[in-house]
Structure 1
Amino acid sequence: MARRPVAVRRAITFIDDHAHEDISAADIAATARTTIRAVQHAFRRHLGTTPMEYLRQARLQHAHQELLAADPTTGATVTEIAARWGFFHPGRFAHHYRTAYGCPPYDWQRGGPTTVAGDSRTSPAQGPRHNYLVRLRGGSTRPEL
């Protein structure tokens, strides 16, 4: 595997260290010591994504870890945790979370999703998953989109 360019490494480090802050593509480019267009091109070429998408995924991962560690009896809410990580629209957060982890974010505060027999998912900490069958409240199953 080819080594990533220094600008990409700088940008990744900056994003990982400052994901909780309000940062822009210009901030990322300045840290990488390059232009916005150049850092976008480098991310697409070496990571297959954009700097802002990488930032969103980093924030989503932090929010996910915080949800796993949250104690609902203390009054922590999905909305508060999402907002802390820069997701101010609950519906968009829920969409991104469901796409990445295969269930709505509030499922983890209820002890995790109910899965279909034979589904090998054992822990949300295993990482993003797509297209699994999830048991609905009525007992039927459907594929997640």
Structure 2
Amino acid sequence: MLMPASHPQPAGLPRAMLGMPSRQLFASRDLQETCSQISRVMKRHALQVVGPRQRLDARMHHLTFGDVSLSRLSHGAEVRIEPGELSDFFLVMMPLHGHAQVRCGNEAVDSTPDVASVISAHLGTTMHWSADCDQLMVRISRPFLERMLTAQLGREPDAPLQFALGFRWRDHAAWHCLVRYLVDWADQSVQPTDHKIIVGQLEQLVASSLLCSQPHNFSAAPAARRSVVLPRHVKRVQEYLQAHAHESIRAETLADVAGVSLRSLYAGFQDFCGVSPMQYLRNIRLERVRAELLAGTVTGGVASVALRWGFSHLGRFSAEYKAHFGESPSQTLRRT
């Protein structure tokens, strides 16, 4: 029998969402209801309570960020879970308490608060959670993650994306900080659907951070041969960014607009503009923020304008704004 293990909660991750009724998806002691509710946001699976004295006391909190979602799940009893192949999503499971034995394809890992598990979409999976197992889970759409991989490679992958199963996630600062940021979002009353630009950026951050932090079968793949990007392709994207700066824009969309690979587009922007396409977009948004501040019609202060244009971290925004314009946003506002 899998025995419960006691582990301290990872530093820097508050017990978010458990006290947030607006994020609670369900709480139940019924096996069928628990399985059905989890299936709503994950997939259909077999769920079995292990041991005659075990009593289910499950609860789940959930928040969606477009093609990415954050969940927190505990069953309150020792359970065996058989989802089979996840098929249309990848799943990163990070225990906050307890542990889980996870088998994915030919790999197996004893997942603890130090070692997460990364479930690859095309591999059969079984899990055995201890009674005190309480996990944060990041779900990433398979089509979206595969598009991000294609953009990084500059070509279509020739095999299904497969990650190493065990993930020492707390050793990777980028991923750890990103998870903390998602948890902070879940702990607020704001709705991601009200901030589409920021959600678009978060989706890309989550996907690219996982691809960079966790080894996978394309980690050592050579970059695609760089092709020549004509100035008209760059100009086409420049015009698109000017017209759609108020929208959520994904990097692969820009490659479609340009008619070239994302790697080639980035090379073209570096050659002709000296910055990446996404930095070019940030510069446009900085200009739009400045224009609003100078117009003298701002209500809600600098923060409301910055958030509307996709700048969610006010400290970084202020520093970037000052570096770009030589004065702080508040100094610009005072000039009106």
For the pair 1:65 / 2:301, whether they are aligned, the reply is no
For the pair 1:33 / 2:259, whether they are aligned, the reply is yes
Q: How high is the TM-score relative to the length of structure 2?
A: 0.31
Return the match for 2:309 from 72, 76, 85.
Answer: 85
Return the match for 1:98 from 301, 322, 332.
Answer: 322
AA partner of residue 260 (structure 2)? T
> Which has the larger Rg?
2
Q: CA RMSD in A?
A: 1.5
The offset of 1:104, in angstroms, is 1.1
Q: What is residue 9 of structure 1 aligned with on the other side?
A: 235
Q: What is residue 111 of structure 1 aligned with on the other side?
A: 335
- Per-residue CA deviation, residues 89-127 of structure 1 (Å, 9 max, x unaligned), is 111110111001111101122227xxxxxxxxxxxxxxx
AA partner of residue 240 (structure 2)? F
Question: Would you say the 8 A contact 1:43–1:50 is kept in 2?
Answer: yes
Kindly indicate which of the two structures has a greater share of residues assigned to helix. 1
The offset of 1:70, in angstroms, is 2.9
AA partner of residue 78 (structure 1)? V
Q: What is residue 224 of structure 2 aligned with on the other side?
A: none
Gaps of 5+ in 1: 113-145
Aligned residues: 107
Kindly indicate which of the two structures has a greater share of residues assigned to strand. 2
- Per-residue CA deviation, residues 54-80 of structure 1 (Å, 9 max, x unaligned), is 0110110011101111335xx331011
Counterpart secondary structure, 1:53: helix
Q: What is residue 21 of structure 1 aligned with on the other side?
A: 247
Which 4+ runs in 1 deviate beyond 3 A? none
Query: Using the alignment, how far apart are the partners of 2:267 and 2:322 within structure 1?
Result: 28
Query: Using the alignment, how far apart are the partners of 1:70 and 1:28 within structure 2?
Result: 33
Query: Using the alignment, how far apart are the partners of 2:332 and 2:231 within structure 1?
Result: 37
Query: Using the alignment, how far apart are the partners of 1:49 and 1:71 within structure 2?
Result: 31
AA partner of residue 235 (structure 2)? R
Query: Using the alignment, how far apart are the partners of 1:27 and 1:99 within structure 2?
Result: 28
Question: Would you say the 8 A contact 1:97–1:103 is kept in 2?
Answer: yes
Taking CA–CA contacts closer than 8 Å with sequence separation of 6 or more, which of the two structures ends up with the larger relative contact order?
1
The offset of 1:53, in angstroms, is 0.8
Query: Using the alignment, how far apart are the partners of 2:333 and 2:232 within structure 1?
Result: 40
Map 1:116-131 → 2, pairs under 5 A: none
Q: What is residue 56 of structure 1 aligned with on the other side?
A: 282
Q: What is residue 271 of structure 2 aligned with on the other side?
A: 45
Query: Using the alignment, how far apart are the partners of 2:333 and 2:235 within structure 1?
Result: 35
Q: How high is the TM-score relative to the length of structure 1?
A: 0.69
Instruction: Report sequence identity in percent.
Output: 36
